[in-house]
Structure 1
Amino acid sequence: MNDYAKKSMFAVGKPNEAFSKYFSGDSYLEVLNTSSAFVANVTFEPGCRNNWHIHHTEAQILIGVGGRGWVQIEGEEAKPLNAGEVVCIEPGVKHWHGAAKDSWFSHLSISVPKDDGSGKSGTDWLEAVSDEAYGKLD
């Protein structure tokens, strides 16, 4: 990771231990802002991805800042996510994101408070992305 970290425009951060059980592989977290909106740089080692999950009271904006990754919204094909690309995920939408098999990947994660009307709060962490489904991505 040292070479990747040296090239990163944001600090890679510390091992993402608090959420490690929801990730396949190692990830790192550097919190950049906690007032008004939560902003963090999340870095994934090659092959690392998070489980399917749903944010109930916040929209999530992902901005690719380094390497090559993937994002998938339930019912849609996985899409590449690269530096400079932006994905907005509305509250209540099941999705996952992470690195490509052969590349480190970092994105800014911006949480925008918003009520999805479900009465639920927080994030529901769901099943892991299967190795079979992930393995089909180029």
Structure 2
Amino acid sequence: MSKPGIFLRKAVIGDLPAIVAIERESFVDPWTEEAFLQALECWAETFFVAVACGEVAGFIVGGIEDTGEAVYGHICNFAVAERFRHRGIGAMLVQSTERLFAVDLAEGVQLEVRVSNIYAQAFYRRHDYQPVFTIAGYYSNGEDAIVMMKWFF
């Protein structure tokens, strides 16, 4: 899936400054550059950037998790730069990552979202994610997280 002038590719080390900048404008407790570097080392196959107008417009970090009973994808971090939002870039990133998880035989995808982030929750609901439970005090400021899941079958 692509849109004119927008494409997805695997993230590379040179993308980290742009990713960190997007992270800082998007979250109150942003990941550090070191955290993204570790993610790039661990999940290079499922760490993508969206490029628009020649610059990094968004990113998604995910990985496959095997509990021994189930295999599922986990979206660990995802954001689109404010000036590029509402152009379908977020949907491109999420759907492409979901397809990779499905190819790896994941049964579904899990993610965490702040209880207060109603816009993100609405986005995920539009993409067939459902809230499954809440984790009390998940975030560094003590805010709860809603775990949302999308099943592939």
TM-score (ref. length: structure 1): 0.35
Which of the two has greater helix per residue? 2
Q: Please say which structure displays the higher CA radius of gyration.
A: 2
More contact order relative to length (CA 8 Å, sep ≥ 6): 1
TM-score (ref. length: structure 2): 0.33
